[in-house]
Amino acid sequence: MRLISWNVNGLRACLQKDFLPTFQALDADCFCLQETKLQAGQLELELPGYRQYWSYAEKKGYSGTAIFTRREPLSVSYGVGVPELDREGRVIVLELEKCFLVTCYTPNAQEGLKRIDHRMAWDDAFRARLQALDAVKPVVACGDLNVAHQEIDLKNPGPNRGNAGFSDQERGKFTELLAAGFTDTFRYKNPDAVGAYSWWSYRFNARKNNAGWRIDYFLVSDQIRGAVTAAPIYSEIYGSDHCPVGLELKEELL
């Protein structure tokens, strides 16, 4: 079972940068997107063989998520279940036969951590949502979680300490999430890998110099981490300021 997650930073823009050939080449069973920046009816996307599920922000041209899946879900739900947090189209949950698949676009704490209170509330609600799902069946959760967990997960940890995405508060919430019964699959398979990033600023030739951050993840319930066979980062794929990340699972072990 192959899954892909990609923050496309505007799907209409990404479509002009070889999104469809990339989609076809990656050949995923489930393909999850974040930051689609779309409203309902703004885009008709033909993906033969895939069912499409979309979540839109109330604010135009902002946030948004999608899942394209070859597998018909048993049920579909949206959000974390907190009305004030669920206006930005940030979460889709598909119930599949053996697991829940969740895609998430976590709010950015923003410059000066001006949205940190909202972010902390989000992290608590998202963790609670995953725990509730995990009590029913195993969870596979992916997306742009907007945090580099450890110093190994970004090129320049010293100057970025305390900045959005690498604040003690956000890193602490991610630690809490893992402690609640979830595994960061990339680190599980690649505990000592350095220079492995999924997002690069458009400034300062950051991608050319690989001055990046690993903020895009696949998490799985601890109970199924033995099913993880690979957790690649497709850093060679362009089209966004993020690259796709993947997960391959032995389905019989789910």
Closest CA to 190 of 231, 148, 147, 142: 231
- Cα dist. 204→64, 122, 208, 209, 212 in Å? 28, 31, 9, 9, 11
Q: E strands along 63-189, which residues?
A: 65-69, 75-78, 91-95, 100-105, 139-144, 182-184
Q: Which of 50, 53, 105, 217 is catalytic?
A: 105
Please state the rounded mean pLDDT for residues 33-55: 97
> What is the pLDDT at residue 131?
98
CA 243 – CA 236 distance, rounded (Å): 8
Query: What are the structure tokens assigned to 173, written together?
Result: 């919430």
Please state the rounded mean pLDDT for residues 113-138: 98
Please state the rounded mean pLDDT for residues 100-123: 98
Beta bridge pairs of residue 101: 94, 140
> What is the pLDDT at residue 253?
84
68-109: per-residue pLDDT in tens? 999 999 999 999 999 999 999 999 999 999 999 999 999 999
> What is the pLDDT at residue 254?
83
CA 97 – CA 169 distance, rounded (Å): 35
187-222: per-residue pLDDT in tens? 999 999 999 999 999 999 999 999 999 999 999 999
Active-site residue, 27 included: no
Active-site residue, 56 included: no
Q: What percent of the chain has pLDDT over 90?
A: 98
Q: Is 252 helix (H, G, I), strand (E, B) or coil?
A: helix
Q: Is the pLDDT of residue 252 over 90?
A: no
8-17: per-residue pLDDT in tens? 999 999 999 9
Q: Is the pLDDT of residue 176 over 90?
A: yes
Please state the rounded mean pLDDT for residues 36-56: 97
In terms of residues, how long is the chain? Answer: 254
Which runs of consecutive H residues, i.e. helices, occur in 146-219? 157-160, 168-179, 185-189
Please state the rounded mean pLDDT for residues 14-39: 98
Q: Is the pLDDT of residue 248 over 90?
A: yes
Q: Which of 144, 153, 184, 216 is catalytic?
A: 144
